[in-house]
Chains A and B, each alone.
Chain A
Amino acid sequence: MTNLSRRTVMQGLGVGAMATALAGLPVFAQDRTAIRIGYAISKTGANAAGAGITTTPNYLLWVDDVNKAGGIKLSKLGVTLPLEVTEYDDRSAAEETVRAIERLATQDNVDLILPTWGTGANLAAGPTFDRFGYPQLAATAVTDMAPQLAARWKHSFWMLGGGHDYANALVELLVKQRDAGTINNKVAIASVADGFGIDLSKAATPAFTEAGFELVYDKTYPLGTSDFAPIINEVSGLGADTFVAFSYPPDTFALTQQAVVADFSPKVFYLGVGTAFPIYPGIAGPNHNGVMGVGGIDPDSEAVAAYFERHIALNGQAPDSWASAITYASLEMLQQAIERVGDIDREAISAELSSGEFDTIIGKVKLVDNQLRSLWTVGQWQDGKFVGLAHTERDGSRDPVVPKPDWVPAT
């Protein structure tokens, strides 16, 4: 590792053009002792917290699971090889992400590259994955551009849907509740002024309006806001039974606390990223019960339960109940695709990912136009689990609890 990197630095200085030429030589099968996986992930900077919850632990878990099982079978080569990892810190900067992928692809010549965390970073990395022909399994990017992107970059796979998926599912679920008379017609929305919040609010605003809801509050707040008292104070006086926040984790936690303090307890309390995090019940205390949010899991799935157990055992923390399982599932797909191809043939692996059906912890999965369409879109904390209420392909396994229980005041 150290030697390799020293060489790399020399080349950066423009000294080692020769070495680069040599590095392009193919790796022969008989030399192969492992399948080399590379990834650059945000270990520092703004994205580190998100990556540390959803992405890194799952990469570690998958590598551990595979290697414990003896590795991945490459039938064409007649070997079963363990995974070997090269990891970099992209320092939460798009420029670093791009360069790290260039490095993994051309310098380290890894066999496969796992993507970084976040929508922006995955979009930034798209052309580079594409240029070097590596499949990109973007499991933590939410974008309505996914169909166009998948068409533009043939090796890219978009696993987490777009803003419309989540917004429409939420509206649909709420329409049922309204029509049943459980909630009134008024909805208040606060969105973080960042990629995720805007994508969702852009989809949700017209969807709510078309469904006949009255939007009594629909505003954005800047990334980094720490005090939500003004928003909660204003919203609590507007008579909305439904409060929706397309928020980021710190905001999600602060909004919950503030709503409890202000005793603003709407019948539907829906928050964005972070509700599905394992620490949410710890922060909200008994009040986590009945809170809705993005994502969800199938509480009755044994595969998911087993996955949770393995994740806790290895990482010391539970996975989140939205993108973690998807991330892990995307890795299972990758593994199965490799085994079906029987060799590290990235073109063939990509083709298999596009067309094949895979057996994962979230069930049988088949991509549609390089996109995972089988997603939990709305979840709710019920009995200590963040259970899926709405799914893009199948009916929810649980019914929503509306109205949610009243807040228990803190002591």
Chain B
Amino acid sequence: MLSSAILTGLVLGGTYALVAMGLTLQYGVARIMNLAYGDIVIAASFAAFVLFSALGINPLLGMLLILPLGFALNWLIYAILLQPLARRSRDRGRLEGDSILATFGLLFVIQGVALVIFGSGFQSYNFLAVPVNILGTIVAANRLLALVLAVAFAIGLFVLLTRTRFGTVIRAVAANPASAPLVGVNVDSVARFAFALGGALAAAGGVVISMYLTFSATMGVVFTMKALIVVIMGGVGNLMGALAAGLILGLVETLVSTYIDPGLTLAATYLIFLAVLVVRPQGLFGKATS
């Protein structure tokens, strides 16, 4: 029972981590507090849905198309919409305020376009809803996929960030963008790349969750908030933090549901989130600022 609950929790946590990972990159490196993040996730879900139901393209193959599209779209969003704001305000507080306002607008635009195209109804389809038996616990393959992808992305990005020169450049921009030009780093293009990569990860999350979650055009904000919770709990800009926080939230939710009361799952996740911040104001893996 316990092992089953833990496994189920980890699988759920994988979804949370997967959805949050792109946001931590966008916020940590490009310093964009992206309130439209969840709508990118939903947009990718719709794309996967269309490919699957209209063209019969397997979502896993669809990902090969949707990920680059997500990258390109977010690249454009940054270049057109956010880069001027970032240039205008080199200090962090100002950019935070501006990016909240601008991406709040973007949220409505993406949601509005989705509403016009797809209407407001629920969309859902089934893919990979096959049982996988792990140590006697049955989990759905599509949910397991989310966990596997979350772990793979986290490790892959971790290696990219810590073991390559380009990764060091990205971390340098994240830590001290004002100094980056001194070593010849084009902050704009690194931030744009990080934002676009974050967008591609969001798209990956969107494709995977569309295989098992019901979604609608107006649901993006749900994912934005969940992702923000995970990112903040893990510590801004920290991929491993996002992974850990996602898994912890999944575990807490499942354990509370199994052993206490399903009615308290969300209360428990918020409680654990708040408790973490009260004890560690910079998040699980964040650096103390002083």
Contacts and interface: CB of A to CB of B under 8 A. Distances in A.
A binds B: yes
Contact of A44 (B12, B111, B140): B111
Interface stretch (A165-173, A246-254, A331-339): A246-254
B74 interface: no
A283 B124 contact: yes
B120 interface: yes
Given A227-B254, A229-B11, A283 B125 contact: yes
Interface string A218-248: 0111101111011101100000000000000
Contact of B266 (A43, A225, A229, A249): A225
A279 B122 contact: yes
Nearest to A223: B266
Interface stretch (A49-57, A99-107, A135-143, A205-213): A49-57
A56 B15 CA distance: 33
Interface stretch (B65-73, B126-134, B237-245, B271-279): B126-134
B222 interface: yes
A257 B261 CA distance: 22
Interface stretch (A2-10, A13-21, A259-267, A376-384): A259-267
A46 B218 contact: yes
Interface centre among A219, A222, A282 (most CB of B within 10 A): A222
A45 interface: yes
Contacts of A367: none
Interface string B246-279: 0000100110011001111111000000000000
Given A231-B257, A261-B140, A253 B124 contact: yes
A219 B256 CA distance: 13
A249 B213 CA distance: 11
11 contacts: A48-B217, A49-B216, A49-B218, A219-B262, A222-B262, A222-B266, A229-B140, A231-B257, A233-B137, A284-B126, A285-B126
A259 to B, nearest CB: 11
Given A221-B263, A221-B265, 13 more contacts: A44-B218, A219-B261, A219-B263, A220-B261, A221-B257, A230-B258, A233-B138, A233-B258, A250-B122, A257-B129, A258-B140, A284-B126, A317-B121
B247 to A, nearest CB: 13
Given A43-B120, A253-B214, A260-B129, A222 B265 contact: yes
A49 B124 CA distance: 13
Contacts, number: 135
B270 to A, nearest CB: 10
A386 interface: no
Interface of B: 4-5, 8, 11-12, 15, 111-112, 115, 119-126, 128-131, 137-140, 143, 212-219, 222, 250, 253-254, 257-258, 261-267
Interface residues of A, number: 47
Contact of B214 (A44, A221, A250): A250
A254 B213 contact: yes
Given A230-B5, A231-B257, A277 B129 contact: no
A251 B67 CA distance: 28
A22 interface: no
A207 to B, nearest CB: 21
A190 interface: yes
Interface string A258-294: 1011110000000000100101001111000000000
A43 B114 CA distance: 12
Contact of A229 (B8, B218, B261): B8
A280 B217 CA distance: 18
B214 to A, nearest CB: 4
A49 B265 contact: no
A409 interface: yes
A411 interface: yes
A193 interface: yes
Contact of B140 (A249, A257, A284): A257
A180 interface: no
A227 B12 contact: yes
Contacts of A44: 111-112, 115, 120, 218
A226 B218 contact: no
Contacts of B264: 222
B228 to A, nearest CB: 15
Contacts of B119: 52
A254 B119 CA distance: 21
Contacts of B130: 261, 409-411
Contacts of B125: 282-283
A55 B62 CA distance: 33
A44 B108 CA distance: 10
Nearest to A222: B266
A250 B265 CA distance: 17
A230 B222 contact: no
A231 B262 contact: yes
Contacts of B267: 222
Given A224-B222, A229-B11, A285-B126, A262 B121 contact: no
Contact of B4 (A233, A253, A274, A410): A233
A230 B215 CA distance: 21
A233 B250 CA distance: 16
